[in-house]
Structure 1
Amino acid sequence: MIMKNGPRHASFMWGSSTRNTRIERLWVEVGTQFARRWRAFFTRLENYHRLDPQAANHIWLLQSLFLDEINSDCLNFQAEWNCHPIRGPDTNNKSPKDLRFLGHLQFGIYRDDCEGVHPDVINEYYGVHGHTTTRQRHQTGAGHPADEEDSDSDSDGEHPSTMVQAINNQQRHQIRHEAISVPSQQNPFVDDATRQQFSATLDEVIANDITPNNCRLTLDEWHGDEYPTFETITFGRRGSKELHVSLAEPIWFNRAKLWCQALLVLSYFLTASSD
């Protein structure tokens, strides 16, 4: 499978699949290669560096500082994935990019005849091939690395009696779930001129390498005189399991320092505007 426009836009067939091993493996790699480290980093900002995830101004600041870098990481992963060799008798160790190119030469450019069609319509007319696998309520089918497997079970012993019920059960937890609440973000500045002043002030703080106080960035604020190299994130349906993610590379400390610098400048501007 070749990825287009990043992993979250990767195309796959709706409905129950008996041949979805590679898309599941893709989501495992998305998590282990870059997504979980960003999650651990934001957890660190919340635990150590005064990030308030309920503050709209803080969410805006996070997006302003790191959204481009997250997208860049996503594109880098996309490029690496599309060039990795795939084992198997039908692939001959060719990469998704190679297979796509050879497919275009042999069959022409593929046009998705289901593009824009609602999943319910696709389910109704395309159906399901092979034996249907029914997952428990906590299982997404997206795949997880071994260290993130949730072995808890809350099955009540009920099984779907019909194929339609099995499909409905699976689809309900994948695409028919209730909308996820997304933290709001709000531009804290009343006009573009004030925002430009904020950016200019932040650039000056960065250029002078100013380290804010009381942000747990300096040696005397670290436990054991060492900045922590691991951050713990929780997973599982009840958040009862933990995973230790390495943030040892200097880039993560530099990003934490940038966040604290930006938060200091933002607080100054917000205080000045309220006076």
Structure 2
Amino acid sequence: MRFTGHLEHGFYVQNELTLHPEVLAHYYGSASHEAGSVPYTDLPSLIAEEQAPQFLHKAAKVPKHINPFDHEDLEDVFKQALNEVQRLNHMPFELGVREEEWGDEGYPEIEIIPSRRNKELVVELPHFVWYPWAVYWCQALEVLGHTLNLVD
């Protein structure tokens, strides 16, 4: 019976080696806190201080935003012309938004963007999401070019 119990449940070996409680607390941790420990209210600042080297890096340079229009009147002309182009549903030439410019495959549904270390980022471009924005951007680009040519 004793042998069967050892097989099923194992047996306890008396370990003659004893460790000092501080050694055990150092390697296994301890649930008790010392009286001089840091108060709980300071925990957010401790976490922020510990994580600061990970997040406080040199800021990236942001390109300057420059308004292409010298006068508000010219900007108003641009906005009115863009509204008129959109109302007429004009499709710009040579900017890749016309169906005849797409080729046999049609509007591209996937764009592959190369990145570091031979990895590629595949971006899905559903027609109903991106196409209206592409048309709007191309219309604005064409109107902007014509508006700025009026000044020159």
| 2:107/2:127 contact within 8 Å kept | no
Q: Which amino acid aligns with 2:52?
A: Q
Task: Give runs of aligned pairs for residues 65-84 of structure 1, distance below 5 A.
Answer: none
Distance in 1 (alpha carbons) for counterparts of 2:112 and 2:94: 22
Q: Tell me how far 1:225 sits from its aligned partner.
A: 4.4
Q: Which amino acid aligns with 1:270?
A: L
Q: Tell me how far 1:241 sits from its aligned partner.
A: 1.5
Q: 1:240 to 1:180 in 2, by over 3 A?
A: farther
- Stretches of 4+ aligned residues off by more than 4 angstroms: none
RMSD, aligned CA:
2.6
| 1:212/1:260 contact within 8 Å kept | yes
Task: Give runs of aligned pairs for residues 1-275 of structure 1, distance below 5 A.
Answer: 122=45, 126=46, 167=50, 171-174=52-55, 176-235=56-115, 238=116, 240-274=118-152
Q: Tell me how far 1:234 sits from its aligned partner.
A: 4.3
- Output one character per residue of 1:187-214: Cα deviation in whole Å (capped at 9) or x when no partner: 1111212111100000000000100100
TM-score by length of 1: 0.36
- Output one character per residue of 1:31-61: Cα deviation in whole Å (capped at 9) or x when no partner: xxxxxxxxxxxxxxxxxxxxxxxxxxxxxxx
TM-score by length of 2: 0.63
Name structure 2 gaps, 5 residues minimum: 1-40
Distance in 2 (alpha carbons) for counterparts of 1:197 and 1:179: 37
Q: Tell me how far 1:173 sits from its aligned partner.
A: 3.6
Q: 1:239 to 1:190 in 2, by over 3 A?
A: farther
- Output one character per residue of 1:119-139: Cα deviation in whole Å (capped at 9) or x when no partner: xx92xxx358xxxxxxxxxxx
| 1:219/1:225 contact within 8 Å kept | no
Distance in 2 (alpha carbons) for counterparts of 1:225 and 1:245: 17
Distance in 1 (alpha carbons) for counterparts of 2:54 and 2:97: 42
Q: Which amino acid aligns with 2:93?
A: N
**What's 1:36 paired with?**
none
- Output one character per residue of 1:193-246: Cα deviation in whole Å (capped at 9) or x when no partner: 2111100000000000100100011222113240101122345xx363112121
Q: Tell me how far 1:182 sits from its aligned partner.
A: 1.4
Count of equivalent residues: 111
Q: SS at the partner of 1:245?
A: strand
> In percent, how many aligned pairs have the same letter?
32
Distance in 1 (alpha carbons) for counterparts of 2:117 and 2:62: 19
Q: SS at the partner of 2:91?
A: coil
Please identify the structure whose Cα radius of gyration is greater.
2
Q: SS at the partner of 1:231?
A: strand
Q: Which has the higher contact order (CA 8 A, sep 6+)?
A: 1
